Chains A and B, each alone.
Chain A
């Protein structure tokens, strides 16, 4: 019996060590990586900012300025509430002291400057596919924006989701860091659109069905699904009869620019913020996104809950 107990203790210790080892945060760059600071371009960074939709979550709610990045937006989910942090250039409350490498680690590895995992409510699962130089340019742009005082609220998550080390395990199952490489069989416009959608715009983060652990289910990628709060439904945007099959390229790019849908309606909810970001892009980039979205094979979305 004593031997069995000893075994149990040893096994638990081994499992804990395994967990600790497997769940360790793995940054991409050392924070003091000077190379990352060279050649940054704030004007190019603005395009990354707009395409990446940073303002959607990080602009302080209840005010009109989408460049006031004080955070505080509440993303309600089944796991609890996430509050977007302050990413303004404020040295104490925002990210004013960050290096470009810090931002790359945050956006591409999901690891904070202090070496903790970020929760994947922050779509680093998408940004990981971006070019590190684009993230560096974004850092240069963020430094030009006004500092906003005031820290955002801490997340309110239930156990065990509030254990940041647990995110390390989640990453093992759900986090593909591979950069997007150009597909030579496709046009440059398609490749540009794919980069904008899948490395920056993170369209699939909302327009996909997710499993019970919040991972995107690949057969439902872009096929729509419950919104994070689980109350509404995010539309299927694949070439499916319930998706965008009937939409022309122009319909897609026009909706991204104006929020007006081909049926004379306008987009709802969070998509309005996306449109405000997308409207900042040059027409050619919205057209490229349209080309990519129009190429998504039609998929049946996850089953919708019955209407009340």
Chain B
């Protein structure tokens, strides 16, 4: 039983990895969706619509770090168009800057994750995380539809 579960698990992981390679657009969209969903919970806390929740905050920072690691590799040259992508050509024109911004986000999210223990530290350490989102979306993503 355990063996077959492991086999299924390995298969699923394998399919995931293959999908990531064969369809980078779908993968990066799914990755960003995860970040958005996790960050939406934190936005509610920031707006005073939900109580502080350390688990939710850490989940958002984890999602950001995961995206920061995975995303730069998900923009191969053959993924500039198609799949309803919102990525602008500028991603490939200034790929070094694009990648550097991901690295910055990853680092800042890691620092914040280590620093945030409670609501007080959250308010200080999370305050500027959102600027990373806008900074990149301004240059590299089409307007929201």
Contact = CB atoms under 8 A, between A and B. Distances in A.
Interface of chain A: mostly helix, strand, loop or mixed? loop
A273 B131 CA distance: 12
Query: Range of interface residues on chain B?
Result: 20 to 34
Contacts, number: 79
B93 interface: no
Contacts of A232: 142-143, 145
Interface of chain B: mostly helix, strand, loop or mixed? helix
Interface string A252-266: 001000111111111
B77 interface: no
A264 B35 contact: yes
A101 to B, nearest CB: 36
A163 B86 CA distance: 36
A266 B133 contact: yes
A266 B145 contact: no
Contacts of A250: 47, 49
B8 interface: no
Interface string B110-145: 000000000000000000001101110110011111
B143 A264 contact: no
A231 to B, nearest CB: 8
24 contacts: A231-B142, A232-B145, A233-B143, A235-B143, A235-B144, A235-B145, A250-B49, A258-B130, A259-B130, A264-B35, A264-B37, A264-B39, A264-B43, A265-B36, A265-B133, A265-B144, A266-B130, A266-B137, A267-B137, A268-B143, A269-B141, A270-B138, A275-B134, A307-B84
Interface of B: 35-43, 46-47, 49, 81, 84, 86, 130-131, 133-135, 137-138, 141-145
